[in-house]
Amino acid sequence: MLNIRYEYESNHEFKNALMYSNLLRIYVLIAQKYITMVHLFSDITIGRQREYIAKFTQVFSYINENFTQSLTLEELADYAGFSKFHFSRLFKQFTNMALYDYLNQKRISEAELLLLNPNMTVTEVAMQAGFNSISSFNRVFKASKNCTPTQYKYLYDSH
């Protein structure tokens, strides 16, 4: 989209063609994602596939709104209407990662933004991003970003 905007604002002779080619590229990416989604649950009927995709769309919306809270596998499976084992298997098939890895990834992304605030302590960031303890936050953050939250904060404070 940024490329389309850039071309729109430029004075290139072929700006319309370049905008059009970028738009086609977006359509191709959407189509590829759609095809991936359709083949995601290839061992079941199309109707059931649509049902699963609709349920997981709701689950991801719920997660996006509540990831800073304590979410459990049981709670999310119940929300989606699946057993926790079936939900866990489908979630992994849908995202290529386990639920708790997905939640930690969301929380780390939130923590990265919060760490940019010079007025927040690392402990405040950990709690606000949804981590129950500073030690688990430090461990998960370091595994994800190859530095501690404090090092990350100082790296961006200095810039």
Q: Give the chain's domain count.
A: 3
* Tens-digit pLDDT profile for residues 47-87: 888 888 889 989 999 999 999 999 999 999 999 999 999 99
- Identify whether residues 35 and 45 lie together within a single domain: no
Do 91 and 55 have their domain in common? yes
Same domain membership, residue 58 and residue 36: no
pTM of the predicted model over 0.75: no
Same domain? For 122 and 78 the reply is no
Indicate if 36 and 51 belong to the same structural domain: no
Same domain, 30 and 60: no
31 and 45 housed in the same domain: no
Rounded to an integer, what is the distance from CA 98 to the centroid of its chain?
Answer: 13
What are the tokens at 140? Answer: 């998960």
Residues 6 or more apart whose Cβ sits within 8 Å of residue 94: 40, 52, 56
DSSP class of 70:
-
Domain hosting residue 75, numbered range: 41-96
